[in-house]
Structure 1
Amino acid sequence: MSGCSCAILCLIFLLLTVACSPDNVGGLTTYHVHVDASKIVQNLTHFWESTGFCPPLPHQRADQYDLSEDEVQNLALIGSVPLGGIKQVRIHWLLDLVTARLESGHPVYNFTLLDNLVDNLWQNGLYPGFELMGNPSNIFTDFENKTQVYMWRDLVYQLADRYIEEYGDGYVEMWNFETWNEPDHHDFDNLNFTVQGFLNYYDACSEGLKKASPYLKFGGPGGACRQPSFSRICWALLEHCSNGTNYFTGETGVRLDFISFHKKGTPGYSMTILAAEMNTIHKIQTDYPKLKDVPIYNNEADPLVGWNKAEEWRADVRYAAMVAKVIVMHQKFIIGAGMPFSLLGNDNGFMNFHPNYFQQRTLLARFQMNKTEPRSVQFVRKPVLTVMGLLSLLGEEEVYGSTDLPDRNSLSDMNSPVDVLAAVHTPSLEHSSDSWQASVLVYSSNDTAEVVNPMATVQLNLNNMRPPENTTDMMYVLYQLDNQHSNPYNVWLKQGKPVFPTRQQFAEMRAAEDALRFGPKPFPTSGSMSLSTPLPRPGVLLLHVCAKPEQEPDQTTSVRLHKITDDTVLVLWDDKCVNSRCLLTFEVEFSSSSQKGPYKRINQRDQIFTAFVYSPTQISSGLPVTTVHGWYRVRAVDYWGRAGEYSLPQKL
């Protein structure tokens, strides 16, 4: 057995042993965290920037969900995470948005509905995790029929070529094209899918994509990959890609650009996600050594099976802290062990249903305002989406970070309730708005359990927090996400759980969306600092240290206005061209008079998310505002108070 395999088996044993362990250090009230920004550990690829959802039945009417006003807002707010903190939205049944008719025995496809969804993703800086799943107008019936196998290949080619033509190679090459979701559950949309038929389908997908561009990614099997007696298609596909015969070329082996599976947690325990992953990775690498270097995706790594189960921990910071914990554990224990782990997806892009506004597996709380005329919908950001904004501030290189808890290889500390992930960012361009940064994320999580001792203290000992050029002008900001300050669900409970909140009640909930911010404050010129701060449980801390950029932030771009009601508008913008992560806030300004102004700032609270819901009840400055119709503009302000250029004004 190879050394790598031995290491995997040992790690599986450790994970399984401690998965149900109690909080081993629950008696401690102070945690010491040590960070050395000069010691690079490994790359940090932001492998967690993925979510997903499934439209409800019937699949053939997926457009009523995917293209609804509710989904338009949902995707816009998911896309508002700063710095592209969520990029991929993996969506089931996409091909049921395509319709087909036969002309002289040949299919003619209408992609209009799918076009609309892809364009909505693109507008919001997102891209699809594109499962080649669905049956356009039910014209396919049997993938052991040669004619239909070739028809499917041509459909996939037309689809990929269409979007390359529309959006360019660069955008479509980011997509993860994937096989049918959970094939061993046999939900095949009226298709007769034998094991051999699925392998034929796989080859048709692969060849269709390759014909459009050899640079498109395609993988699978996108299922649980449990024991072979249950997951026959999963293991048959891995065997096929490793040793089988390509249906179209006759060659041995078929390309597999990534191996995707779904490993979720058992109720209450995040460690079981890693234990299940390691067990499956070990079996794949043992049985199929040719695939040992293929990237691994767990694109449904949720703490609990069942998106619609109402769980109170999904409503508050427990869920956010648990997501952060799972990400840190993957970086340290799976990627750190040399596994080719490349994507961790939380399948939490769903939209809740009454009466569970916050408690389902969603990123936002949806309120369907059915008493308005016309009907409207409004959303409130949950802590689990806010934490994605904090994670986006991490750099691309992990640096040394440790706690005073037992060694990370010990059995007793594998499932730590507190841990740290530190990283640095080095700018790619000199003399720009970008600069050297260091970030330190600390989580405090007892998974989904109720917290007995909710408050502790963390002592941050920071060393060598200096950019390579020894810049002495640095600032730091500390963000704190906790249930006292960042809990819209608690606000909603105190309001009496309104089904149709008033504008004032929405304003109160949204006031609790963001993490509490301390600073910016000057960072010592020595590059070292010791900082003591409260550590709530559940909670997430993010310390962000920035060297002063030579230039102020660049211009904010792509302001868009989405009317929610006659007196409420969703203002959206893009931060891709700002070229600075060291942002104190975006300032959103409004003029009811003219494009030239005068303008007044309308977002009272500082924010780094790129979306703002504007309603007159949320306006201050001592001036009553009775309309949302007028001109809007946005600019970025950095930690030094320097403002970038305003966006081009947009009129509603």
Structure 2
Amino acid sequence: MDMYSSMDQFTTQANSARADWEKRIGQRIKEGSEPDRLPILPPPEQVAATSGAGQVTLRWSPVEGAVGYFIYRSEQPTGPFTIIDHGGGDVLAVPGLAYADTTCTPGQQYWYAIASIADAKARPSELSTIVEAQPQTQVSEPLTLHIQAQKEAGQINPLWHMLGGEHLSQLFYKEGPGNSQIGSEYTQAFTMAHHELGARYLRAHAILDDEQNVYREVNGEAAYDFSSVDRIYDFVLQLGFRPIVELSFMPSDLATDVTKTIFTYKGIISPPKNWQRWGELNGRLAAHLVERYGIEEVSQWGFEVWNEPNLKVFWTGTQQEYFRLYDVAARAIKAVDERLKVGGPSTAAAEWVVDFLNYAQREGSPLDFISTHTYGNLPLNFKEALKAANLPHIEVLWTEWGITPTHFARVNDAAFGAPFVLHGMKSAQNHADALAYWVVSDHFEELGRAPKLFHGGFGLLSVGNLHKPRYWALALLEEMGRDLVHAELQGDGAGSLIDSWVTRKADGTLDVLVWNGTLDQSKIDGDPLLDRQIRIHLEQLLAESYHCSITRIDMTHSNITTHWTGQTDWPTPEQWDILHAADTLAVEEMPDVVATHGAADLAFTLPMPGVVRLRLTPTR
């Protein structure tokens, strides 16, 4: 049964939750260690700046131990230098080793410097050598992509196979916004993501929330009921997913303060009043899951302790109380079976990671993975922090990642997100084990249900399961082969603004994926100076000819928002039919490519934001 008795009640709760969120979202829990106690690294060397059309590309050499780098800019060679803010709304540091500055004014001279950091809150290093550049006002020369089709170049790690799903009790809800059926649409969204994106892991909030009635106290004694948990996880497994079990929120009978809550469904965010019973709850849950699904299955899941405890809006305790929350839960879960995986700190804005590692090592806390979140940026390289802590075996799971942390933001529906997700997935290849886009569906109730069809929801899919450009970009990744071939991109913004992947399948099919996107959200509607021409030169082709198609994602292709006028909040049944008919990838057949001595040439335009996939299949 739906947890809300009336739409008026839901609207009241949503307005209250949103006001509370906006008041407290920027407030941080005080950390145990000050930034000046964290390692201070040397600055990068070999810093270079290259002027391009509408942008400046910065490159630098890596610094051992650096999880990221701040990009500084000044309009004078003597400063002052300030960190570039690309408008992502979260972490400003980038993992390196290239950055395209599109926040600059074409024709103006700038001076740049780079600083390295050992943690998201660490004091930056001294500034690097200062370099200068001037973004150009004229249109760019074409870029070249030189492909050697038989030269192997490693494999793609499908980091997108973990996704976020907010709270999973929605799988059983009934009528929702726009006369939708929440449960059936939510189920369909996960089914689509499993089959079209290859998604295999699902992370969500609130499995311990009172809605599940997992824990209560009767006459002072603890009582457990895992029937709602079983119902959820039975369904999740049937859909082809394994859970990342986020251990939140606090059951009311175990909470120190039941009045401190988050979201419309009022998840309780206070520490436990009885630490022993908190441990027993997590141990009982883990034991029950093992008994129901078997250790061979549950050992492939993950248990993540809490959500974003560095934010006051999610946690009323201190940092040390969170570390205790983690330690008690992790030990209880490991006591069930050492093969069960536990991790944290599940923080916002990539914070507390080094503090958490230091605590876990000092106290001997069980730890199989670190988890953290970031938005509007490429994920930092915490493999460096693990290497510095002599913990190279620990996995790195970004259990929330997305184009923006802001609810109801226009960029969530825009084509701008398509190249963003591709930049992120390529950037994190060697320093993450999962990069979970948050979330699958616009059936998402944190601060209220969707007020209209395209409302800036976090979902890859809209209410009604229309594909947004971000979804299509991930679908193109999933359609590619896993075996990379050598591809060298050269020209204006190569490897920073514009990037590529080329794969070869067993039948000889080549997928050439090229994307053009900036982190600068002031360019959500594009900029003609950032559009590019791409020339491809293919070598080592084994077939004489190839069937060729081109797939586009940009503001006018594979962008469902262009088919909706928005004159009303929700479509009529007839309008839904039109939208679903238009909800397809823009694929165009091209003339066959004929190889001459194993070589061929192609060319296409690539707007910003934009994605192009060329598929070349040997003709038979």
Q: Under TM normalisation by the shorter chain, which class is it?
A: 0.5 to 0.7
TM-score, reference length from structure 2: 0.66
- 387-396 or 85-94, larger mean C-alpha shift: 85-94
CA distance in 1, matches of 2:281, 2:205: 18
Corresponding residue for residue 422 of structure 1: 502
1:222 aligns with 2:346: yes
* Aligned partner of residue 466 in structure 2, secondary structure: strand
Corresponding residue for residue 15 of structure 2: none
CA distance in 2, matches of 1:181, 1:49: 20
Letter in 2 for 1:393: E
Conserved? CA contact 1:489–1:509, under 8 Å = no
For structure 2, list consecutive stretches of 5 or more residues without a partner in the other structure.
Answer: 1-40, 45-60, 72-92, 105-134, 175-180, 257-270, 444-448
Alignment of 1:14-413 (within 5 A): 18=99, 20-22=101-103, 27-28=139-140, 30-55=142-167, 63=169, 67-68=173-174, 69-81=181-193, 82-96=195-209, 97-102=212-217, 106-139=221-254, 141=256, 145=274, 147-165=276-294, 169-170=296-297, 172-186=298-312, 193=317, 195-224=319-348, 231=352, 235-244=354-363, 253-265=364-376, 270=377, 273-274=378-379, 277-278=380-381, 282=384, 285-286=387-388, 289-306=389-406, 308-311=407-410, 313-331=411-429, 335=430, 340-349=431-440, 350-351=442-443, 353-355=450-452, 357-366=454-463, 378-405=464-491
- Per-residue CA deviation, residues 534-571 of structure 1 (Å, 9 max, x unaligned), is 323322112334568xxxxxxxxxxxxxxxxxxxxxxx
Label 1:11 to 1:463 Cα distance change in 2 as closer, same or farther (>3 A). farther
- Cα offset for 1:531? 1.9
CA distance in 2, matches of 1:209, 1:424: 43
Corresponding residue for residue 441 of structure 1: 513
Report the identity percentage: 20
Letter in 1 for 2:373: H
- Cα offset for 1:472? 7.6
Label 1:298 to 1:145 Cα distance change in 2 as closer, same or farther (>3 A). same
Letter in 2 for 1:300: E
- Cα offset for 1:186? 4.7
CA distance in 2, matches of 1:152, 1:99: 9
Picking from 457, 460, 463, the partner of 2:539 is: 463
1:483 aligns with 2:555: yes
TM-score, reference length from structure 1: 0.63
Alignment of 1:519-538 (within 5 A): 519=589, 524=594, 528-538=599-609
- Per-residue CA deviation, residues 330-361 of structure 1 (Å, 9 max, x unaligned), is 33xxx2xxxx3212122133436114624232
- Over the residues paired in the alignment, what is the CA RMSD in angstroms? 3.7
Corresponding residue for residue 614 of structure 2: 543
CA distance in 2, matches of 1:521, 1:104: 77
Letter in 2 for 1:120: F
* Aligned partner of residue 138 in structure 1, secondary structure: helix
* Aligned partner of residue 399 in structure 1, secondary structure: strand
CA distance in 1, matches of 2:314, 2:356: 16
Letter in 2 for 1:540: V
Label 1:516 to 1:528 Cα distance change in 2 as closer, same or farther (>3 A). farther
CA distance in 2, matches of 1:195, 1:7: 28
Letter in 1 for 2:439: N
- Per-residue CA deviation, residues 346-398 of structure 1 (Å, 9 max, x unaligned), is 213343611462423222222xxxxxxxxxxx332222212221110122233
Conserved? CA contact 2:152–2:486, under 8 Å = yes
- Cα offset for 1:209? 3.6
CA distance in 2, matches of 1:473, 1:396: 23
CA distance in 1, matches of 2:323, 2:490: 51
Label 1:98 to 1:43 Cα distance change in 2 as closer, same or farther (>3 A). farther
CA distance in 1, matches of 2:459, 2:483: 30
- Cα offset for 1:103? 6.0
- Cα offset for 1:223? 0.2
- Per-residue CA deviation, residues 583-626 of structure 1 (Å, 9 max, x unaligned), is xxxxxxxxxxxxxxxxxxxxxxxxxxxxxxxxxxxxxxxxxxxx
Conserved? CA contact 2:145–2:489, under 8 Å = yes
* Aligned partner of residue 147 in structure 2, secondary structure: strand
- Per-residue CA deviation, residues 407-452 of structure 1 (Å, 9 max, x unaligned), is xxxxx76632x211123345xxxxxxxx454322111224431223
CA distance in 2, matches of 1:211, 1:524: 63
Conserved? CA contact 1:160–1:209, under 8 Å = no
- Cα offset for 1:507? 2.5
Conserved? CA contact 1:176–1:217, under 8 Å = yes
- Per-residue CA deviation, residues 137-158 of structure 1 (Å, 9 max, x unaligned), is 5335565856324413422323
- Cα offset for 1:178? 1.0
- Cα offset for 1:216? 3.0
- Cα offset for 1:258? 1.5
CA distance in 2, matches of 1:176, 1:304: 25
Corresponding residue for residue 625 of structure 1: none
* Aligned partner of residue 182 in structure 1, secondary structure: coil
Conserved? CA contact 1:320–1:387, under 8 Å = yes
Corresponding residue for residue 611 of structure 1: none
Letter in 2 for 1:513: D
1:510 aligns with 2:580: yes
Letter in 1 for 2:402: D
Label 1:492 to 1:21 Cα distance change in 2 as closer, same or farther (>3 A). closer
Letter in 1 for 2:277: Q
Conserved? CA contact 1:460–1:530, under 8 Å = yes
CA distance in 1, matches of 2:348, 2:67: 23
Label 1:202 to 1:506 Cα distance change in 2 as closer, same or farther (>3 A). same
Letter in 2 for 1:87: R
Letter in 2 for 1:488: I
Letter in 1 for 2:496: N
Q: How many residues align?
A: 474
Label 1:211 to 1:20 Cα distance change in 2 as closer, same or farther (>3 A). same
Label 1:149 to 1:300 Cα distance change in 2 as closer, same or farther (>3 A). closer
Conserved? CA contact 1:31–1:457, under 8 Å = yes
CA distance in 1, matches of 2:197, 2:169: 26
* Aligned partner of residue 291 in structure 1, secondary structure: coil
CA distance in 2, matches of 1:135, 1:499: 36
Label 1:465 to 1:262 Cα distance change in 2 as closer, same or farther (>3 A). farther
Label 1:84 to 1:486 Cα distance change in 2 as closer, same or farther (>3 A). closer
CA distance in 1, matches of 2:183, 2:458: 15
Conserved? CA contact 2:283–2:336, under 8 Å = no
- Per-residue CA deviation, residues 18-67 of structure 1 (Å, 9 max, x unaligned), is 46445867722633222223333333111123332435xxxxxx846864
* Aligned partner of residue 45 in structure 1, secondary structure: coil
- Per-residue CA deviation, residues 439-481 of structure 1 (Å, 9 max, x unaligned), is 2211122443122328643222223355xxxx88965543222
Conserved? CA contact 2:283–2:333, under 8 Å = no
- Cα offset for 1:77? 2.1
Conserved? CA contact 1:84–1:125, under 8 Å = no
CA distance in 2, matches of 1:163, 1:465: 52
